[in-house]
A = this chain, B = another copy of it.
Amino acid sequence: MKAKYITIIDIARQLNISKSTVSRALTGHPNVNEQTRKAVLELAASQEYQRNSLALGFSRHKTHTVGILVPEFMSTYFPSVIVGAQTVLQEAGYNVVICQQNESYETEVANIKLLLSYRVDGIIVSHTKETRNFDHFTLAQRIGIPLVFFNRIPEDMNVPGVVVNDYEAAFQAVEHLIKIGRKCIAHLAGPESLVNSRLRRQGYIDALKKYNIPYNPDLVLSYDLTMEKVKIYMKHFLDLATPPDALFAINDPTAIAAMEVVKAAGLRIPEDIAIVGFSNDFSAELVYPGLTTMAQPTSDIGRTAANMLLQEMHAKVMNDYSIKKAPTVTLPTKLIIRDSTVKKEQPSLVKKRKGRI
């Protein structure tokens, strides 16, 4: 089974002109007679000519395609970053292909190699939580393919990236809990391997310090972001002699899973335990009670990363980040307060229905 595509040579033959002229006509080159161009375009359209981008990229050493690599896309975070990036890139005339790793390091390496082998012009990436070895990224850099990271940025690489102010965000989240009177605040932290996790944890610690609340390491558990663990850890917190009266969770799914445990234990949110998440996932608004969370400007993150990548790709000379500092943009987060920390009065649930018994 073999696909049959029309080529510019087919068109040239039919019109009795050279492939050069056909090429010029199709690419909009000025030096071509208007009648010739018209004839070529018409024939190309009627024969459904599809340019062969393989041949083009191969010959021109530019594919006008960028790859976006994300660790997963079941939460709303990554999809909406992608949509933001895609908008900018498509406007700039670039094609976008997306690869997702299922949080697997091997897939990540394979996908980087895949993109390199397809000679993409640039890559936007957030690495998996498993990634400890960054050789596949430095490889891309060595070859000269611009890379822009977001969300998760390898520490010991000097690469352009877009992040949010994780430290301040965590600080504010915890400060919010303190200001509503909580004194015993637990933290479900992310894996130590991720910078964001460590920054958020530090923000947590420093917020406690600022308000003279002693930091109790027993109230902090790092975990690997698999949902089963949350339930175990949260239960552990509830079983402490002095259980916490608030929880700051590394992200919204964690917070939501924790809420399940709390509710199942018959405790009230926020009265017994107030909960704050991170990212403002779509579901944060939907859960009961609504989840207070630090919103990330996902679309902006994507757009910013895309613009940075465009700049890198258009640079005359490859930016050599072994000698100069790579640009990093930090975007602001915003605390969204919902019922999981501060309860609004409910509309009366017993209001009479109209027109019915």
Contacts and interface: CB of A to CB of B under 8 A. Distances in A.
Interface of A: 1-5, 48, 50-55, 57-58, 61, 63, 65, 73-74, 76, 79-80, 82-83, 86, 90, 95-100, 102, 107, 113-114, 116-119, 139, 142-146, 240-243, 256, 263-268, 272, 282-283, 286-289, 313, 315-318, 347-351, 353, 355-356
Given A4-B143, A54-B58, A266 B117 contact: no
Contact of A82 (B65, B100, B142): B100
Nearest to A315: B1
Nearest to A240: B355
B74 A282 contact: yes
Contacts of A240: 355
Given A98-B99, A117-B52, A243 B353 contact: yes
Given A1-B318, A54-B54, A79-B79, A348 B266 contact: yes
16 contacts: A1-B318, A2-B144, A3-B61, A3-B119, A3-B144, A48-B143, A50-B113, A50-B116, A54-B54, A54-B58, A54-B119, A83-B100, A97-B99, A243-B355, A264-B347, A266-B348
Contacts of A53: 114, 117-119
Nearest to A79: B73
Contacts of A349: 266, 268
Given A2-B144, A83-B100, A144-B1, A118 B268 contact: no
